[in-house]
Structure 1
Amino acid sequence: MERLRQLLSDVPHFLRTLVWPVARSVRNNVGLASLSIVLGFALWIFVTDTENPTRSGVLPIELAVEPVNVPGDLALSGSPVNVRVRVEVADDVWNTLSTADFKATLDLDGLQAGTYDLPVRVEPLTGRGGLRVTQVIPDTVAVELKSLFSKSVSASVSLEGAPPPGYEASIPELDAETVLVTGTQDRVTLVTQAVASLDLSGRTESLTQAVRLEPRDSRGFLVEGVSLEPSVMNVSVKIEQTQFSRALVISPTVVGTPAAGYDIVSLFADPPVITVFGPQSFVGETATIRTQPLDITGATEDVIRTVSLDLPTGVSVSGGTSVTVTVQIEPGQGTRTLGVTAVIVGLDPDLSVSGPLPLVEVVLLGELPDLQGIRPNDITATINLTGLKEGTHTVSVSVS
């Protein structure tokens, strides 16, 4: 029956668009025209209702009831109220309906402080499928109106996230230090602060932006049923770069000396370069980063050690803070001069050498550790006089 009532309500539109033009052409045959119209309209009703029947039932959604005409000196106490509705609508529209297709209101016009049972009005906001609300569940709700109460609370910003390493954010600054909380006394009393959230994740530049404040209790939970004035403020946060980076050459620090006769031939670190992070005053003026001292006193072979970097306060590095230092040590090259008494060989038995045997000066060239271990007795200087006759001769000295 309801579908029939809906279809009948569409009759004026049907008459304007179809019947009147036809009527002009058949005004000389009123009986035939009337019969055609009635039969056509009946057929239209039958076909339409068969192809797309009406569906009636309670929608599986809840509508939030909005108080309207609230007296300026009163506030609604308690939690928001939700209702459900029974509707009639074309079957192909049923599953497309949502809360956006309805408006539920509670009229508080002219009321004083007190408790009331008030009817809930639900209006469809669309005409799709002949939508009609047939029942509101529940159709009345109990409400309590209380006098408004106001107080000031502090406003603050809760920072979420942080700038990337090497950047620091200042304390956020709001337009005002306090906001006015208004509502019923039992709700306003719960509010101890107004808090806005601001996410600084990945931020590298200062910012000023609008944030929405929320009323919170002493434990940080949201308090509903109150209003804030202002509810939106601008917050400013300065973000500055405090850590700078640069690749520096690692300069190993060596103390002590190798054993006598040994020299340092090379000195290097692995890795040879490392990225440091620190204040601009350090990073901008420093070319190398030194290691903790490595003692090579008395070393006669390569020294390989893991040592820590000598990092100033406030300076960090990427990766580990230790490096491998290799000190390559080899015997030094040099000379040594020794005086060796010559030995005469091959002298004719009938002859003799006049005067003392000469002292031969021998200069040795080689690795210093080996040279330092050689004594004069380890060297032989030989003068070969084989075949020489009496007289003065100049001969070579053989050293071995």
Structure 2
Amino acid sequence: MRDFFAVKGINWGSLLLAFLLSLSLWVYVTVQDNPVIEGRFEVPIDYMNLPDNLALSDKADTVRVRVAAPTNVMNTLASSDINAYADLSAAGEGQYTAPLRFQLPDNVELVSADSTEVVLVINQLATRQKPVTVRYVSSEPAEGYLALEASLAPNQVVLSGSEDRLNQVEEVFITVDITDMSSNFRANLPVNVVDASGNSLLGFVTPQPALVDVLVPVVTEQPSKVVPVSVTLSGAPAEGYVISRIVVDAPVATIFGAQSALDTVDYAYTSAVNIADA
């Protein structure tokens, strides 16, 4: 090998030195143009693999971390790019301490975290059914229009969480804004759960379903009248059977029109319901 180098007449030592100097210069320039800097972020904590029969009664929501990254990476880095999580697969009822784990993007290093573990309070899972109410950001539709009572589907949800957190639930509601609307408002809206102070309990209490369909009828503002609903029947029941009672989901209806026309209406009639051989 030495004879080969000698025949070629190449000074390999000088060539290697030149290469190392060039590499050092490139690294120096790169670092100067794009130095590594540090930043602090508030990162939400994800709690994973909690057994189905348990619920969190107390927990930390976030952890502050300090990370280092090249300037061009740090300039676009967001809290959502950093994952902090605790594996609760081995958790049991009572106080439980879980280590925090972190996942970071490429070229980002964790320098420190305000906490490397979380202390949790865990209790048995309980459920409770609650009605859903409507909160209006504004209940004023466009001028000349009137909003009628909202209808929800479903109008109740099942809440799951620890018993102590369920006891704190003050209201379950959706938020509706019908500002300046001149037609019916329809939407599929998220369910909110709050305590008596208005604090959200959604981190501890889970509504099922989490979304509710809402309809707020918006009609022209004119005279109205509430009348009973009368069911129109067609046909006759099977032999040996009689109609003992008729139950209507909405026993009354609100009708609108000129006052002279309203004065002539005593009932709102349904479309014919066929009960032949029922």
Fold similarity call, TM over 0.5: yes
Q: Tell me, yes or no, if structure 1 residue 112 matches structure 2 residue 112.
A: no
Partners of 1:122 and 1:55 lie apart in 2 by 19
Secondary structure, in 3 states, of the residue corresponding to 1:205?
coil
Which residue of the other structure, out of 142, 163, 168, is the alignment partner of 2:146? 168
1:160-182 residue CA offsets vs partner (Å, 9 max, x unmatched):
33123332222111112210001
Q: CA deviation at 1:214?
A: 0.7
Within 5 Å, give how 1:1-400 maps onto structure 2: 31=12, 34-56=16-38, 59-91=39-71, 93-94=73-74, 96-125=76-105, 127=106, 130-159=107-136, 160-217=138-195, 221-224=199-202, 225-243=204-222, 281=258
8 Å Cα contact 1:122/1:136 also seen in 2: no
Letter in 2 for 1:230: P
Partners of 2:22 and 2:216 lie apart in 1 by 73
Cα distance change of structure 1 residues 28 and 69 upon mapping to structure 2, 3 Å threshold:
farther
Partners of 2:66 and 2:170 lie apart in 1 by 42
Q: CA deviation at 1:92?
A: 5.2
Q: CA deviation at 1:86?
A: 2.4
Secondary structure, in 3 states, of the residue corresponding to 1:61?
strand
Secondary structure, in 3 states, of the residue corresponding to 1:187?
helix
- Which fold has the larger relative contact order, with Cα–Cα distance below 8 Å and residues 6 or more apart in sequence? 2
Partners of 1:142 and 1:28 lie apart in 2 by 70
Partners of 2:199 and 2:29 lie apart in 1 by 58
Secondary structure, in 3 states, of the residue corresponding to 2:20?
helix
The number of residue pairs the alignment matches comes to: 219
Structure 1 unaligned runs (5+)?
A: 1-26, 245-278, 284-400
TM-score (norm 1): 0.49
What is the aligned partner in structure 1 of residue 237 from structure 2?
none
Cα distance change of structure 1 residues 79 and 110 upon mapping to structure 2, 3 Å threshold:
closer
Secondary structure, in 3 states, of the residue corresponding to 1:183?
strand
8 Å Cα contact 1:118/1:142 also seen in 2: yes
8 Å Cα contact 1:153/1:192 also seen in 2: no
Letter in 2 for 1:121: R
8 Å Cα contact 2:45/2:84 also seen in 1: yes
1:26-77 residue CA offsets vs partner (Å, 9 max, x unmatched):
x996936644443332222232233333334xx3431121111222222222
TM-score (norm 2): 0.68
CA-atom RMSD in angstroms: 2.9
Q: CA deviation at 1:142?
A: 1.1
1:255-312 residue CA offsets vs partner (Å, 9 max, x unmatched):
xxxxxxxxxxxxxxxxxxxxxxxx96379xxxxxxxxxxxxxxxxxxxxxxxxxxxxx
Partners of 1:164 and 1:201 lie apart in 2 by 7
Letter in 1 for 2:193: P
